[in-house]
């Protein structure tokens, strides 16, 4: 079976990557030439380009994939949904009990679970069943055509024994590639994979949270002065990224204190995560990296630890997140595309992301883009979401800085009901983390429609660079009430404020002024 990512576009050593944007420009130039001379051969040229691309994102409508000039709007959402298909699995099941798993939470079931997955995969795929009961496990590695299904009452309890997350794997830590502990549920270059059911996966994040170091969160992460933490390891990794050290020479793991992610499909296609309950993650929870065709549906997340983002699509396209519940220690949903040199070197944006019918409780932000957006983010659609908590800081949040850079464009948000947030209903902060460089981030074409926020400090809070102001921000048919601090605008550009109103805590209208 052909690999879904051709070596001509994504080498394992990442030393060379053929830019999709370069291919796009080439196509447009050649198409114009042929249209003017031999219109009937356009389709032949397209087929040649598909062949050269090594079937990147196989199964997509390539014409849409290449056409960057089309007008993006809410009318585009159905076209994106047509490209997102759930995986279908053979009607065969394999119980982990039959491979030696023992319920009770004391017996190590790592080998049994992974053996069941391997046998299922080798037998052309199917469903690996986790029956009712608690099963202690280390890293689980999914393979193509396998659905890991947790029945009602099933619980996967991930061990605190860090040796069970070895050997090191190709992963990302905060948008930077490295070799580190395996994510708890991991898949690498697989297709048609799923984690489904009514059961629970428990990461016992308390075993890892102290590695964060100092943190002012909602839960005690048990770090004390003089305890080891990720600070030094993180600095070493950032330096390697800056010096473009190949990812497979960035060796971490024991002694560096970089926490693994919970669920990470990496370079995968047709991914489904549906129905499960997730608690107590070490850090980022659902983290598709360089994936295409991802569905996260009816997932409930309760995880208040440090950096416990709920769902972070990174350098991924055609992603649907719907009917989910997020109660997290960091951003509920955060769309990313790599950090600093890694994001610019790999140069794959996150795009065509649909978020709908989700509930956000605690977290740093509800719908978030950033802060690792060096590879760009575009075409994000969020609708019909409910947010409510004094510990949810922002409803819509876009964040970057001049070291990380990136272009964020074509973001459409509508029908968002916000009972209250702690800071701002709409926040664009391009000075995030106080890092500075020469890569001024670009934020443009942001539309917020029918947002109803009933309590916040700020209605709109924007801090951007004078060298690159925010542009084409529209607030339409929206109402912000009980706003205690009004509006803060710094290099906000022209705001298109249509049929929208901001009221202070006394019910008086606040005018937007620059």
Domains in the chain: boundaries? 1-70, 76-293, 309-514
Cα(260)–Cα(193) distance, integer angstroms: 20
**pLDDT of residue 47 exceeding 90:** no
Q: Does domain 76-293 have CATH number 2.160.20.10?
A: yes
What average pLDDT does the structure give for the chain? 89
**pLDDT of residue 23 exceeding 50:** no
Confidence label for 218 from pLDDT (cuts 50, 70 and 90): confident
End-to-end Cα distance, the chain? 58
Alpha carbon of 163 to those of 179, 181, 252, 254, 494: distances in Å? 15, 9, 13, 9, 54
Q: Give the model confidence (pLDDT) of 379-437 as tens digits.
A: 999 999 999 999 999 999 999 999 999 999 999 999 999 999 999 999 999 999 989 99
Q: What is the pLDDT of residue 96?
A: 98
Q: Phi/psi zone of residue 402: left (φ > 0), alpha (ψ -120 to 50 degrees), beta?
A: alpha
Confidence label for 59 from pLDDT (cuts 50, 70 and 90): very low
Cα(301)–Cα(281) distance, integer angstroms: 9
**pLDDT of residue 53 exceeding 60:** no
3-state secondary structure of 305: coil
The Cβ of residue 389 has, within 10 Å, a number of other Cβ atoms equal to 17
Confirm whether 76-293 and 309-514 share one CATH topology: yes
Q: What is the pLDDT of residue 513?
A: 75
* Angle in degrees, CA 370, 363, 351, rounded to 5: 30
Q: Give the pairing type, strands 407-420 and 367-369.
A: unpaired
Can you give the pTM of this predicted structure? 0.88
Cα(462)–Cα(399) distance, integer angstroms: 10
Cα(340)–Cα(349) distance, integer angstroms: 13
Cα radius of gyration (the chain): 23
Q: Give the pairing type, strands 169-173 and 176-180.
A: antiparallel
Q: What's the average model confidence in pLDDT over 264-282?
A: 98
Q: What's the average model confidence in pLDDT over 240-262?
A: 98
**pLDDT of residue 62 exceeding 60:** no
**pLDDT of residue 56 exceeding 70:** no
Q: What is the pLDDT of residue 70?
A: 64
**pLDDT of residue 231 exceeding 80:** yes
Q: Which fold has domain 309-514?
A: Pectate Lyase C-like (2.160.20)
């Amino acid at each position: 079976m052909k690999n879904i990512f051709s070596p001509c576009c994504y080498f394992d050593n990442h030393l060379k990557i053929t830019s999709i944007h370069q291919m796009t420009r080439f196509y447009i130039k050649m198409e114009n030439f042929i249209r003017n001379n031999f219109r009937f051969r356009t389709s032949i040229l397209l087929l040649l380009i598909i062949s050269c691309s090594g079937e990147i994102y196989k199964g997509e409508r390539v014409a849409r994939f290449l056409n960057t000039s089309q007008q993006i709007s809410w009318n585009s959402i159905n076209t994106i949904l047509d490209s997102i298909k759930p995986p279908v699995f053979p009607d065969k099941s394999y119980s982990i009990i039959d491979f030696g798993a023992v319920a009770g939470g004391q017996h190590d079931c790592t080998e049994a679970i992974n053996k069941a997955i391997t046998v299922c995969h080798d037998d052309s795929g199917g469903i690996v069943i986790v029956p009712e009961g608690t099963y202690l496990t280390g890293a689980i590695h999914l393979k193509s055509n396998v659905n890991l299904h947790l029945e009602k009452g099933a619980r996967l309890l991930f061990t605190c024994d860090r040796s069970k997350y070895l050997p090191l794997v190709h992963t990302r830590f905060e948008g930077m590639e490295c070799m580190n502990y395996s994510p708890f549920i991991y898949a690498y270059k697989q297709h048609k994979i799923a984690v489904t059911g009514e059961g629970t996966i428990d990461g016992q994040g308390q075993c890892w949270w102290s590695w964060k170091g100092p943190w002012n969160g909602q839960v005690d992460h048990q770090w004390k002065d003089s305890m080891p933490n990720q600070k030094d390891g993180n600095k070493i990794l950032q330096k390697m990224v800056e010096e473009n050290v190949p990812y497979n020479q960035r060796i971490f793991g024991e002694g560096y204190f970089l926490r693994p992610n919970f669920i990470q499909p990496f370079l995968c296609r047709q991914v489904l995560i549906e129905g499960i309950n997730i608690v107590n993650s070490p850090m980022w929870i659902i983290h598709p990296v360089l994936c295409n065709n991802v569905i996260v549906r009816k997932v409930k997340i309760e995880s208040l630890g440090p950096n416990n983002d709920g769902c972070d699509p990174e350098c991924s396209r055609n992603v649907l997140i719907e009917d989910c519940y997020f109660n997290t220690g960091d951003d509920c949903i955060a769309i990313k595309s790599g950090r600093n040199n890694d994001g610019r070197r790999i140069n794959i944006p996150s795009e065509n992301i649909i978020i709908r019918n989700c509930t956000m409780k605690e977290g740093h932000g509800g719908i978030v883009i950033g802060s690792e957006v060096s590879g760009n983010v575009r075409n994000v659609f969020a609708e019909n979401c409910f947010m409510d908590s004094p510990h949810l800081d922002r409803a819509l949040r876009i964040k970057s800085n001049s070291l990380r850079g990136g272009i964020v464009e074509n973001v459409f948000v509508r029908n968002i009901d916000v009972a209250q947030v702690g800071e701002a209903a709409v926040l664009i902060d391009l000075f995030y983390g106080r890092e500075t460089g020469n890569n001024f981030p670009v934020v443009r074409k942001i539309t917020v429609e029918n947002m109803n926020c009933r309590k916040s400090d700020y209605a709109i809070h924007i801090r951007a660079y004078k060298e690159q102001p925010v542009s084409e921000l529209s607030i339409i048919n929206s109402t912000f009430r009980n706003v205690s601090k009004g509006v803060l605008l710094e290099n906000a550009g022209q705001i298109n404020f249509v049929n929208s109103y901001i009221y202070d805590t006394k019910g008086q209208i606040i005018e937007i002024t620059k």
